[in-house]
């Protein structure tokens, strides 16, 4: 029997499985208080998914104050939409607006790597479409356990194939991302997905359901039994260990994606936008129709009536609660004026997209959902979508933090002879976190749509937005979880600094920030301390750089038993370049006779470094210092260098230090170089330190004086560190030895294929 | 000069093909899978992608689209047709070219800049190249391994109908390193690599692909 509102009113004492659905006792009591009765099964399903951590941000929302407190009016000025919308939107010039967002699909990807990763791509792309934008490109920051662990061999190939299998069929170029290995992610890989889209500024579509009498149309795939309860079960409680710490895992239903349906849905949506017949639009992602109807209704100025029995199904016998919480992929919900419904249906028919009028915007302020004429949901939509619980979780700096920071890298044995240093350059180049990502990126289409100007192995991905003017955007995502573990505030600012720098080295001006904050359990005060530090670090860092946070995503409960992952706030930075023809490539040797300059300063900084990780499996001490004013200066100098044609290549220094940057710059450019280290500083420190705020640039000899004078005048330290040598086919580091490119290439490119086939 | 580019549901590189046609100086005409109408074009290109999702077998459903009936008839009458990637698969399924494209030998999707050798520059789509020239063009596919019975391969090789061959590393285990072939008249050509993504060194590895779009203009003028 279907549980109707009348039935719920008549049977107040009926037991309900709210705990199994992830609701706490007090949360259930609050629902009863809001409704003045017990919820129906359908209402309970809606509240439980919408009040899950994943949808409600109940543990993190209290910290959002740091974003607003650190956003100045100048930072706000370029934002057309910010936090709270499906994705942030910024103006980039020439009448274009760009929207981008980063989101996690961690838990599903561990359970079912291919489909988990595939549907992660699908979901983020629909978020971008829900802003009225044409999706332009995707990228995927990924983190896995130890590279030689048997489970990594299960998870990584599946995730990569899933991202490729789905993204390649959508016709969206994959322009970058990250692949990081660390045993802290062994039982909790991180699969984050980013999508960027563009639209004319006047075409921005915000999700709302205004206008009494307007029709609500569900279009795209049919609704089935896949992914039911996925949000609450997967994202909230999956990995909670019991007292014994055995970490029993509920086996959830991961959604299955159909990229062909999504591709057709994209084209259909774009045609609908072009026709100007969409009043409001919302994607169906986590929490499915529960989310879409309550968010559309609560963002509008009226109520909404939905006839749930009209929803096209792919399974028989589904209950209203199941239909409302199904996470079947490739669905969208639109609000359309009655006079435009026929035109809407014609466009959908052209693309063979199923479209069904399921309801309408009503007077009043209730979301009412009926099932064959009987009311199964009657709620104030804001209480479902926006007024969920909010927790001020206890925060406590963990006991181990002092010991961790005291255990610095100073005592680690360092290579010192030329032979040892030469061998270390090769060992580092071949190490799993520094080795070429080609095995992964070759499985992604980076060319489709013809606008890709830079993609992996470049520091950032760059896409042309306007074919006439050449205006484009650059994107990079970064985070070194080890730095964040050592000092969450500084570590997060280092992630921001690196993403900012990676955009700047391409010649683009950094403009906006998004993030995906991957942490352990919010019920652990130590994790909440990391989280609070990270949010504050990011917010204050953005203020110093003068670029706003336009949106973000939080993924909690990334832990196995009581052991959390390294805190991993992945930071994405978007930059704009007014003409992509002036982009700065990563590989050296584009012009004859280039000088190599090292910008910035190198200090003895090895806490959390890749060298300490590879050589000693050591994590302790403090991360490198961060100087955001310096990062900003480097960014300005690189943009000026690009604009005036003074810089022919640039590559940032980060994981693995100068040695790795030189190896990559030579291998990508397919030319040799001769490098002279500073005689007054330890060669080991110069080659492997991970001090922030450094970039290797190649400048044509004719521009060298002009460029270095600009650096000096603006107070940026620089050092002439070598020359490009197209004849030599080797990287020669004076006093250390000769590294033939063939030997370097074998080291750099051999690792991932050897591990994963 | 008007050159058509067909869009099936799931076609991905149609806008890139249209950009390449325009870059060659011709007028690009969008053709729709559901319309049995070639709009009087002088040549047709079937772009890459995953037509109808390719859930059955790459190209197997697209072959039955209304527009394909027109293309098959016109091609048999001499209309120049180029199939790129999924378009090549469709031409094989439609019987306009022999053989089939199987899953890549490594079982992975492969996207890389690929060197090709121009083996036959007497076709409608390769006349602008020097015979034996080596060109670099992106390849990106899951099912790119050309296969055919030995007698068919011998015939293709014997008649000089292997138009493009992979140079250097064979990316997918294709028989005889075959990257592209033609019909006996040289007017119908299919290849796995994507010339439309090599028309500008800014967004591709080279502009070597433009030659295919320019070649067909010559052949149409000559006809």
Q: What is the CATH number of the domain that holds B203?
A: 3.40.50.880
Task: Please state, in angstroms and rounded to a whole number, the distance separating the CA atoms of residues A116 and A131.
Answer: 24
ipTM of the complex: 0.95
Give A352's contacts in chain B (Cβ within 8 Å).
9
Structural domain that includes position A738: 584-757
Of B9, B53, B140, the CB nearest to A447: B140
Task: Inspect the interface and report whether the beta carbons of B197 and A450 lie closer than 8 Å.
Answer: yes
Assess if residue A272 is contained within a domain: no
The pLDDT of residue B53 is: 84
Q: What angle do CA A91, A93, A97 make, to 5 degrees?
A: 35
Assess if residue A478 is contained within a domain: no
The pLDDT of residue A234 is: 28
Note whether A524 and A497 are within 8 A (CB). no
Largest CA distance in chain A: 87
State the pLDDT confidence band at B110, using cuts at 50, 70 and 90: very high
Of A260, A441, A443, the CB nearest to B53: A260
Assess if residue A217 is contained within a domain: no
Assess if residue A640 is contained within a domain: yes
| Cα distances (Å, whole numbers) of residue A555 to A102, A153, A285, A570 | 11, 24, 15, 11
Give the number of residues written for chain B.
Answer: 223
Task: Please state, in angstroms and rounded to a whole number, the distance separating the CA atoms of residues A393 and A520.
Answer: 13
Task: Please state, in angstroms and rounded to a whole number, the distance separating the CA atoms of residues B48 and A324.
Answer: 37
Task: Please state, in angstroms and rounded to a whole number, the distance separating the CA atoms of residues A625 and B216.
Answer: 60
Note whether A347 and A272 are within 8 A (CB). yes
Of B33, B85, B92, B197, which is the active-site residue?
A: B85
What tens digit of pLDDT does each residue of B87-101 get? 999 999 999 999 999
Task: Please state, in angstroms and rounded to a whole number, the distance separating the CA atoms of residues A534 and A538.
Answer: 6
Q: How far A749 CA lies from chain B's nearest CA (Å)? A: 14
Assess if residue A174 is contained within a domain: no
Assess if residue A684 is contained within a domain: yes
- Verdict on whether the full-model pTM lies above 0.90: yes
| Cα distances (Å, whole numbers) of residue A612 to A142, A422, A485, A490, A645 | 21, 17, 15, 19, 38
Annotated binding site of A for substrate: 104-107, 126, 255, 327-329, 555
Q: Which of B7, B12, B32, B33 to mutate to test the interface with A (most CBs of A within 10 A)?
A: B12
The chain A residues in contact with chain B (CB within 8 A) are: 161, 164-165, 168-171, 258-261, 263-264, 351-352, 441-453, 464, 467, 580-581, 757
Q: Which residues of A543-562 are buried (b: 16+ CB within 10 A; e: fewer)?
A: bbbebbbbbbbbbbbbbbee
Q: What is the CATH number of the domain that holds A721?
A: 3.90.650.10
Task: Inspect the interface and report whether the beta carbons of B9 and A164 lie closer than 8 Å.
Answer: no
Sheet containing B81-84: give its strands across: B27-32, B2-7, B43-46, B81-84, B188-191, B178-182, B162-166, B110-118, B134-141
Give B194's contacts in chain A (Cβ within 8 Å).
447
What tens digit of pLDDT does each residue of B185-221 get? 999 999 999 999 999 999 999 999 999 999 999 988 8
The pLDDT of residue A232 is: 37
Structural domain that includes position B154: 2-222
CA B57 to chain centre: 18
The chain B residues in contact with chain A (CB within 8 A) are: 9-10, 12-13, 15-16, 19, 49-50, 52-55, 106, 108-112, 138, 140, 142, 194, 196-197, 202-204
Dihedral pair phi/psi, residue A650, rounded to 5°: -155, 140
Task: Please state, in angstroms and rounded to a whole number, the distance separating the CA atoms of residues A597 and A384.
Answer: 56
Q: What is the tally of structural domains in chain A?
A: 1
What tens digit of pLDDT does each residue of B24-83 get? 999 999 999 999 999 999 999 999 999 888 888 888 888 899 999 999 999 999 999 999
Note whether A587 and A455 are within 8 A (CB). no
Give A136's contacts in chain B (Cβ within 8 Å).
none
Q: What is the tally of structural domains in chain B?
A: 1
Give the number of residues written for chain A.
Answer: 757
In the predicted model, residues of chain A with pLDDT beneath 50 are 230-252
Q: Which residues pair with A100 in a beta bridge?
A: A88, A196
Task: Please state, in angstroms and rounded to a whole number, the distance separating the CA atoms of residues A238 and A248.
Answer: 8
Is the torsion defined by CA of A597, A603, A607, A612 positive or negative? positive
Give B138's contacts in chain A (Cβ within 8 Å).
447
- Strands B81-84, B188-191: parallel, antiparallel or unpaired by DSSP? parallel
């Amino acid at each position: 029997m279907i549980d109707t509102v009348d039935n719920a009113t008549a049977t107040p004492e009926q037991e309900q499985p709210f705990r199994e659905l992830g609701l706490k006792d007090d949360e259930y009591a609050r629902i009863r208080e809001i409704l003045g009765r017990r919820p129906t099964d359908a209402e309970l399903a809606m509240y439980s998914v919408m009040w899950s951590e994943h949808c409600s941000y109940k543990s993190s929302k209290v910290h959002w104050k740091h974003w607003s407190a650190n956003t100045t009016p100048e930072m706000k000025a370029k934002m057309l939409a910010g936090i709270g919308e499906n994705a942030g939107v910024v103006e980039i010039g020439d009448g274009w607006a760009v929207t981008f967002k980063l989101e996690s699909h961690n838990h599903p990807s561990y359970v079912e790597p291919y489909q988990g990763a595939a549907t992660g791509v699908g979901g983020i792309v629909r978020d971008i479409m829900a802003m009225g934008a044409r999706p332009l490109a995707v990228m995927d920051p990924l983190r896995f356990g130890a590279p030689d662990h048997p489970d990594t061999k299960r998870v990584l190939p599946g995730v990569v194939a899933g991202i490729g299998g789905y993204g390649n069929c959508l016709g969206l170029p994959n322009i970058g991302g990250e692949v990081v290995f660390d045993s802290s992610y062994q039982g909790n890989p991180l699969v984050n997905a980013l999508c960027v889209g563009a639209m004319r500024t006047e075409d921005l579509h915000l999700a709302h359901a205004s206008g009494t009498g307007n029709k609500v149309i569900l279009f795209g795939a049919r609704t089935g039994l896949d992914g039911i309860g996925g949000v609450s079960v997967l994202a909230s409680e999956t990995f909670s260990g019991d007292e014994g710490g055995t970490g029993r895992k509920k086996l959830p239903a991961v959604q299955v994606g159909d990229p062909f349906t999504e591709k057709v849905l994209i084209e259909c949506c774009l045609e609908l936008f072009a026709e100007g017949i969409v009043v409001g639009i919302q994607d169906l992602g986590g929490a499915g129709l529960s989310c879409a109807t309550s968010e559309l209704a609560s963002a509008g100025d009226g109520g909404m009536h939905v006839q749930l029995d009209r929803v096209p199904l792919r399974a028989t016998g589904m209950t209203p609660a199941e239909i409302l919480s199904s996470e079947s992929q490739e669905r969208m919900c639109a609000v359309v004026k009655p006079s435009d419904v026929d035109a809407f249906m014609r466009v959908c028919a052209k693309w063979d997209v199923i479209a069904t009028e399921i309801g309408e915007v009503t007077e009043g302020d209730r979301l009412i959902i009926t099932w064959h004429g009987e009311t199964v949901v009657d709620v104030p939509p804001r209480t479902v979508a926006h007024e969920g619980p909010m927790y001020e979780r206890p925060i406590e700096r963990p006991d181990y933090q002092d010991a961790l920071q005291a255990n610095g890298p100073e005592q680690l044995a360092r290579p010192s002879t030329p032979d040892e240093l030469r061998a270390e350059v090769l060992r580092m180049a071949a190490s799993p976190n520094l080795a070429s990502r080609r095995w992964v990126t070759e499985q992604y289409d980076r060319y489709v749509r013809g606008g890709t100007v830079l993609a992996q192995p470049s520091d950032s991905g760059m896409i042309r937005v306007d074919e006439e003017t050449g205006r484009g955007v650059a994107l990079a995502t970064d985070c070194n979880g080890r730095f964040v573990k050592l000092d969450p505030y500084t570590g997060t600012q280092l992630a921001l600094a690196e993403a900012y720098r990676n955009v700047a080295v391409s010649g683009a001006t950094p403009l906006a920030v998004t993030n995906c904050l991957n942490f352990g359990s919010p019920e652990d005060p130590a994790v909440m301390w990391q989280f609070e530090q990270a949010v504050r670090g990011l917010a204050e860092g953005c203020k110093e750089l003068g670029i706003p946070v336009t949106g973000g995503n939080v993924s909690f409960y990334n832990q196995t038993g009581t052991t959390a992952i390294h805190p991993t706030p992945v930071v994405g930075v978007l930059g704009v370049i007014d003409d992509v023809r002036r982009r700065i490539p990563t590989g050296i040797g584009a012009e004859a006779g280039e000088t190599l300059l090292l910008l910035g300063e190198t200090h003895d900084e090895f806490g959390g470094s890749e060298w300490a990780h590879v050589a000693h499996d050591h994590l302790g001490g403090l991360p490198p210092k961060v100087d955001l004013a310096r990062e900003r200066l480097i960014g300005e100098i690189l943009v000026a260098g690009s604009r005036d044609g003074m810089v022919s290549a640039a590559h940032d220094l980060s994981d693995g230090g100068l040695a790795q940057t030189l190896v990559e710059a030579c291998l990508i450019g397919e030319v040799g170089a001769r490098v002279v280290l500073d005689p007054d500083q330890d060669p080991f420190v110069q080659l492997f330190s991970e001090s922030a705020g450094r970039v290797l640039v190649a400048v044509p000899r004719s521009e060298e004086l002009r460029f270095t004078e600009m650096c000096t005048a603006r107070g940026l330290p620089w050092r002439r560190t070598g020359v490009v040598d197209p004849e030599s086919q080797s990287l020669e580091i004076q006093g250390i030895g000769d590294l033939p490119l063939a030997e370097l290439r074998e080291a750099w490119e051999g690792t991932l294929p050897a591990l994963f086939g | 000069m008007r050159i058509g580019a067909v869009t099936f549901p799931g076609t991905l590189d149609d806008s890139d093909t249209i950009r390449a046609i325009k870059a060659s100086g011709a007028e690009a005409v969008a053709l729709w899978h559901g319309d049995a109408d070639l709009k009087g074009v002088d040549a047709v290109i079937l772009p890459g992608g995953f037509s109808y999702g390719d859930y059955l077998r790459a190209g197997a459903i697209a072959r039955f689209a209304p527009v394909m009936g027109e293309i098959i008839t016109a091609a048999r009458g001499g209309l120049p047709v180029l199939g790129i990637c999924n378009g090549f698969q469709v031409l094989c399924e439609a019987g306009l070219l022999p053989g089939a494209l199987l899953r890549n030998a490594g079982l992975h999707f492969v996207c890389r800049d690929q060197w090709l050798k121009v083996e036959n520059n007497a076709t409608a789509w390769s006349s602008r190249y020097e015979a034996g020239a080596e060109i670099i063009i992106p390849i990106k596919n899951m099912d790119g391994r050309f296969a055919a019975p030995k007698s068919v391969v011998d015939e293709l090789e014997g008649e000089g109908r292997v138009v493009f061959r992979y140079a250097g590393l064979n990316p997918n285990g294709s028989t005889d390193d075959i990257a592209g072939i033609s019909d006996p008249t040289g007017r119908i050509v299919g290849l796995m690599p994507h010339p439309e993504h090599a028309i500008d060194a800014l967004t591709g590895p080279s502009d070597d692909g433009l030659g295919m779009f320019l070649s067909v203009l010559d052949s149409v003028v000559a006809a």
